[in-house]
A = this chain, B = another copy of it.
Amino acid sequence: MGLRFEIVAEDRATGARAGLLHTPHGIVETPVFMPVGTAGTVKGMTQGQLEELGVQILLANTYHLYLRPGYETIRELGGLHRFMAWPRPILTDSGGFQVLSLKSLGRVTEDGVWFKSHLDGSSHFLSPERAIEVQLALGADIIMPLDECVAYPASREAVQRAVKLTGRWARRAKEDLSASQGTGGWGLGTRETPSVPNSRPPASETQLSAQSQITNHKSPITSPLPPAPTPSLFGIVQGGVDKDLRRQSVEAVLELEFEGYALGGLSVGEPKAEMYEVAEYTAQLLPRDRPRYLMGVGTPEDLVECVARGIDMFDCVLPTRNARNGSAFTSQGKVIIKNTKYAREESPLDPACECPVCRRYSRSYIRHLFVAGEMLGAILTTQHNLHFYVDRMRKIRQSLLFGAFAEFHSRARSQA
């Protein structure tokens, strides 16, 4: 059990809580927003910029890293933290969501999912055990079991089938992780671990030689290799917008006891009100003393609304993807920066914002960068948007610590 979750403040009226999530790579303050670093990089940001923004934990996509550069490569290089030079916590997803949503011709069987790479069309098979194996190789702090996420709308039968399959896969994932954990980290003891290609020495030796190589440099790349982490596995609740199925799914994962619980299958097309209702309903079925993670959500409003429904962790591509499309989140709503009306506007993206971008650059300049197709446009807007999200979470947490969440919540609602 690598994860310790400590609740430091709670809002009686709503069940919103502020906590501390103790991970092998440090303590994460919750509620927390996790920027998405799909391929081991948050697009356009340096790791130093993320640290400066106060990003405490990243999400990385197993599917993408599995295909490129490959999980054996990352394992040999000492795991994802070391590979991408990010010393703070990382959560990896199972890869299942991408397999099923990237239209990679994912074909679900009892054993797992067959899919074709979006890069070269090659065929791959992802099973609950494989998903654990790959994530152990990546070495994240928090890992997710393979699940089946059904798009909205779907028949009750389809959702029920997914709930049951997700439950059976959760058990297999848990059992596989338990088996591999007895034999040390980095997934070396995992049943399915293939022999390391090219007759290279096993990872532990590679790590040692890499480390001594590093100390020969004037400038070491990263801090010394941390001990092989013990990842924490979360359980995923499916069930679409059907409360009965959500309850069934909760019961199935609770029986297995996970270190945290994730709400999957939301924000996949259902009306916002239903999403909030299902999140609230599901969260209150989960144990108080474990972190709750709402996968793939959401807008700045969603963050407040779902913290108010008992959620502790979020991830979403919105702040980063919108930024690359020239859409900035601001205290006055979205700013579509390419708009002609900003061509001569000297004010920053958000006059109320104190981020490094708003302290230095004007809307007119950032608009020019987008119009001219310059990378710096996406870089600055990403930095600003991530600051907006991180800052929003910081303010939510502060309001919880000082007993003012209700006020924050109602003010946020009136502004939305």
Residues of A within 8 A of B (CB): 39-41, 43-48, 64, 68-69, 73, 76-78, 83-85, 210, 213-214, 217-222, 343-344, 346-348, 351-354, 356, 358-362, 364-365, 368-369, 371-372, 374-376, 378-380
Contact = CB atoms under 8 A, between A and B. Distances in A.
A343 B46 contact: no
A213 B376 contact: no
A368 B68 contact: yes
A85 B356 CA distance: 12
Nearest to A383: B46
29 contacts: A39-B374, A40-B365, A41-B374, A41-B376, A43-B375, A47-B360, A64-B372, A68-B371, A69-B364, A69-B368, A69-B371, A69-B372, A73-B343, A77-B364, A83-B365, A210-B346, A213-B346, A214-B347, A217-B351, A218-B351, A219-B348, A219-B353, A221-B347, A221-B348, A221-B358, A221-B360, A221-B362, A222-B360, A375-B379
Contacts of A348: 217, 219, 221
Contacts of A73: 343-344, 364
A374 B64 CA distance: 12
A352 B216 CA distance: 11
A219 B346 contact: no
B218 A346 contact: no
Contacts of A64: 372
Given A83-B364, A364-B83, A343 B213 contact: no
Nearest to A361: B85
Given A73-B344, A83-B365, A84-B365, 14 more contacts: A39-B372, A44-B379, A46-B376, A48-B356, A77-B344, A77-B362, A85-B361, A218-B352, A219-B353, A219-B359, A221-B347, A221-B348, A221-B362, A222-B360
Task: Give chain A's interface secondary structure class.
Answer: loop
B44 A368 contact: no
Contacts of A356: 48
A359 B362 CA distance: 32
Nearest to A219: B359
A76 B47 CA distance: 36
Contacts of A344: 73, 76-77
Given A348-B219, A348-B221, A44 B375 contact: yes
9 A-B pairs with least C-beta separation: A41-B376, A219-B359, A69-B368, A39-B372, A85-B360, A44-B375, A210-B346, A41-B374, A217-B351
A69 B83 CA distance: 40
B45 A361 contact: no
B379 A214 contact: no
**Residue from A210, A368, A378 with most neighbouring chain B CB atoms (10 Å):** A368
Contacts of A48: 356, 360
A352 B218 CA distance: 7
Nearest to A49: B46
Contacts of A85: 360-362, 365
Given A76-B344, A371-B68, A361 B221 contact: yes
A39 B353 CA distance: 26
Nearest to A382: B375
Nearest to A216: B351
A364 B45 CA distance: 18
Contacts of A378: 375
Given A219-B358, A368-B69, A214 B376 contact: no
Nearest to A211: B346
A361 B214 CA distance: 12
Contacts of A362: 77, 83, 85, 221
